Amino acid sequence: MDLGLRGRTAIVCAASKGLGRACAEALAAEGVGLVLNARSAGPLEKAAAEIAQTHNVSVVPVAGDIADAEVRAAILAAAPAPDILVNNAGGPSPGKLKSFTAEDWAKALEGNLRAPAAMMAAVLEGMAARGFGRVINITSSVVRHPIDVQGLSAAARAGLHGLVSTLVREHVGRNVTINNILPGPFATDRLISNFTFQAKQKGITPDEALAARRAELPAKRFGEPLEVGRLCAYLCSAHAGYISGQSIGIDGGAHPQIL
């Protein structure tokens, strides 16, 4: 299916690897030009060059922490009229309530709530004026299915979901949609670092923790990042203008729901 995206421009935040990069790859494969962000310039520039070469699209890297307002301004200067915004950031630190420091709280709320809020505030009106806009927030299945050591993640992301629910109706009449993707366990560096934390708590090796988790998943595997990327590309497509305000789980059946 042609997603009708050729020639569009997307901002993809936190995208030198993992799920963000997979979203960038899937959009680039549809002919979308990109502004790509991550903190470390070297890996970001490498990712940008690889995506540009593979898919023959323009990819402009803008390095820096998405929680930093100046970095967001630089991203928006590189793509002043984006058609697509993919909000993403590193996940908050795992831990127990009493272990969360003021710095942990600030990082989670700035990166996973305020940064996507600020990016949406910057782009939504322009998208509405131009008659096309797609916003995707990469959040987590933890919003619906709590993991006890992911309290910071659940708190910041549930806040973002609440905010999104108040924005959807304002812009959908002008073909601007906002949806959240809630990944379950996907095979990325983030997953491995989370399991390293859990393994330490349980006194087992990270590989043992990963194998145990894989065995208990209904799909008997972790998700592949490009599965999130292709879902993202579809939700951004010309055909998805009637899908907005949805929180779409992608978890290999790990968290079945009646409604």
Instruction: Compare residues 4 and 252 and give the one whose CB is closer to ligand NAP.
Output: 252
Instruction: Compare residues 188 and 237 and give the one whose CB is closer to ligand NAP.
Output: 188
Instruction: Compare residues 63 and 172 and give the one whose CB is closer to ligand NAP.
Output: 63
Q: How far apart are CA 164 and CA 162, in angstroms?
A: 6
Q: How far is the CB of 61 from ligand NAP (least distance, A)?
A: 11
Terminal CA-CA length for the chain: 28
Side chain identity at 55, as an amino acid letter? Answer: H
In whole angstroms, how far apart are CA 205 and each of 11, 29, 211, 214?
Answer: 38, 38, 10, 14
Asked if 94 contacts 132 with a C-beta cutoff of 8 angstroms, the reply is no
Q: How far is the CB of 129 from ligand NAP (least distance, A)?
A: 28
Q: How far apart are CA 218 and CA 222, in angstroms?
A: 10
Q: How far is the CB of 119 from ligand NAP (least distance, A)?
A: 11
Burial state string for 34-63 with b = 16 or more CB within 10 A and e = fewer than 16? bbbbbbeeeebbebbeebbeebebebbbbb
What DSSP string runs through 79-99? -SS-SEEEE--PPPPPB-GGG
Instruction: Compare residues 33 and 90 and give the one whose CB is closer to ligand NAP.
Output: 90
Q: How far is the CB of 79 from ligand NAP (least distance, A)?
A: 15
Instruction: Compare residues 135 and 172 and give the one whose CB is closer to ligand NAP.
Output: 135
The tokens of 202 are what? Answer: 């349980």
Instruction: Compare residues 108 and 172 and give the one whose CB is closer to ligand NAP.
Output: 108
Side chain identity at 207, as an amino acid letter? Answer: D
Q: How far is the CB of 156 from ligand NAP (least distance, A)?
A: 9
Q: How far is the CB of 172 from ligand NAP (least distance, A)?
A: 25
Strands 59-63 and 84-87: unpaired
3-state helix, strand, coil in the chain (%, to 5): 50, 15, 30
Q: How far is the CB of 104 from ligand NAP (least distance, A)?
A: 13
Residues contributing to the site for ligand NAP (CB under 6 A): 14-20, 37-40, 43, 65-67, 88-91, 111, 138, 140, 183, 185-186, 188-191
Instruction: Compare residues 76 and 172 and give the one whose CB is closer to ligand NAP.
Output: 76
Q: How far apart are CA 12 and CA 216, in angstroms?
A: 32
